């Protein structure tokens, strides 16, 4: 879930920044008034029409496609940016409620949310995803680790290993969120596959049978909620440090993500296969991933 939160925030910030630069070039007097201030505050609002991304493709020999990403209903998300005396970049973000993130639904059933593409065609993994989330206040510290650094010292005192501070920069983030509703459909058919099934059954591309397959899923998970340890209405908390290490694979090169804590409760309101009724609900309480480190590297 953290990934979706970051996509939403980065997309909003990037779009707002581009729009601002397109409207007004900063002249010398504006720059003079900006220099020497205590910090910068950015207010971001995204209306119902939202931010949209048609497709994100990760390509190796084949491709992974993330299609029809939309983010909307962000009402005055305020971000503050400061640099302290030790050269640490400090970014704070206020709480915002009712943010909607959706994948895959373009209104026609022509796209999957997540698909695998190869030389012989495209297969759907996730048909659609729709999530409503309340974001709590968050802080991000891009830590200057050259020489003495109070943030680095504090992070180590909080349980992060010394390996995170072997390089020149580490990113520490603390955030909280509550997912108030999430629905996702998985393992369905792309439009091309749906058309083929309809034609094989004596129908035609784009007919009602094709539409049924293109917009349905083999597994439907609904009414997912993720909240804090004190119950619904509270926010789950997350704390992590990200750093990179150079060199060879054998020397431990790669991107590292170390979790300080993910504390919360996950509820799944319904799990259904095809058009059958839900087979039941799931609740996972007292989730805590403190101390887990993930290393990402090439092969």
The residue whose two tokens read 């992590």 is 240
pLDDT at 48: 66
Which residues does 214 contact at the CB level (< 8 Å), separation at least 6?
Answer: 109, 110, 188, 189, 190, 191, 194, 195
Per the domain annotation, does 205 fall within a domain? no
The string of pLDDT tens digits covering residues 196-219 is: 888 998 999 888 888 888 878 889
Per the domain annotation, does 196 fall within a domain? no
Percent of the chain at pLDDT > 90 equals 22
Per the domain annotation, does 269 fall within a domain? yes
The string of pLDDT tens digits covering residues 32-49 is: 444 445 688 888 887 767
φ, ψ dihedrals at 120, nearest 5°? -100, 5
Per the domain annotation, does 174 fall within a domain? yes
Per the domain annotation, does 206 fall within a domain? no
pLDDT at 282: 93
Q: How far apart are CA 299 and CA 293, in angstroms?
A: 19
Q: Total structural domains in the chain?
A: 1
Which residues does 148 contact at the CB level (< 8 Å), separation at least 6?
Answer: 86
SS (H, E, C) the chain: CHHHHHHHHHHHHHHHHHHHHHHCCCCHHHHHHHCCCCCEEEEEEECCCCEEEEEEEEECCCEEEEEEEEEECEEEEEEEEEECCCCCEEEEECCEEEEEEEECCCCCCCCCCEEEEECCEEEEEEEEEEEEEEECCEEEEEEECCCCCHHHHHHHHCCCCHHHHCCCEEEEEEEEEEEEEEEEEEEECCHHHHHHHHHHCCCCCCCHHHHHHHHCEEEEEEEEEEECCCCCCCCEEEEEEEEEECCCCCCCCEEEEEEEEEEEEEEEEEEEECCCCCCCCEEEEEECCCCCEEEECCC
Per the domain annotation, does 163 fall within a domain? yes
Q: Which residue range is the domain that position 140 belongs to?
A: 2-188+216-296
Which residues does 249 contact at the CB level (< 8 Å), separation at least 6?
Answer: 297, 298, 299
The string of pLDDT tens digits covering residues 252-283 is: 888 888 887 788 899 999 999 987 889 999 99
The string of pLDDT tens digits covering residues 147-198 is: 555 555 555 555 556 666 666 678 888 899 999 999 998 988 877 888 888 8
Per the domain annotation, does 211 fall within a domain? no
Closest-CA residue to 175 (of 142, 138, 125)? 138
The string of pLDDT tens digits covering residues 52-96 is: 888 899 998 899 999 888 888 787 788 899 988 878 889 999 998
The residue whose two tokens read 């083999």 is 218
Per the domain annotation, does 121 fall within a domain? yes
């Amino acid at each position: 879930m953290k990934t979706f939160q970051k996509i939403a925030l980065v997309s909003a910030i990037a779009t707002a920044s581009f729009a601002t630069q397109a409207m007004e070039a900063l002249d010398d007097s504006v720059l003079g008034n900006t220099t020497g201030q205590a910090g910068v505050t950015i207010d971001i609002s995204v209306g119902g029409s939202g931010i949209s991304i048609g497709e994100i493709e990760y390509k190796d020999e084949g491709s992974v496609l993330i299609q029809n990403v939309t983010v909307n209903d962000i009402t005055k998300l305020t971000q503050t940016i400061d640099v302290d005396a030790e050269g640490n970049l400090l970014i704070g973000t206020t709480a915002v409620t009712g943010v909607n993130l959706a994948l895959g639904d373009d209104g026609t059933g022509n796209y999957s949310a997540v698909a695998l593409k190869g030389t012989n065609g495209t297969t759907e993994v996730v048909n659609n995803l729709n999530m409503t989330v309340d974001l709590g206040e968050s802080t991000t510290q891009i830590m200057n680790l050259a020489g003495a650094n109070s943030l680095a010292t504090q992070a180590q005192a909080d349980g992060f290993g010394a390996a995170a501070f072997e390089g020149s920069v580490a990113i520490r983030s603390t955030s909280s969120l509550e997912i108030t509703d999430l629905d996702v459909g998985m393992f369905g058919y792309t439009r091309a596959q749906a058309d083929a099934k309809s034609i094989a059954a004596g129908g035609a591309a784009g007919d009602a049978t094709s539409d049924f397959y293109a917009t349905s899923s083999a597994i439907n998970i609904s009414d997912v909620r993720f909240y804090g340890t004190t119950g619904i209405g509270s926010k789950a908390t997350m704390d992590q440090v990200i750093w990179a290490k150079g060199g060879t694979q054998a020397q431990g090169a790669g991107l590292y993500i170390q979790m300080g804590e993910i504390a919360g409760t996950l509820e799944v309101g319904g799990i259904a296969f095809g058009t059958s009724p839900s087979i039941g609900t799931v609740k996972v309480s007292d989730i805590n991933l403190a101390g887990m480190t993930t290393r990402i590297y090439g092969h």
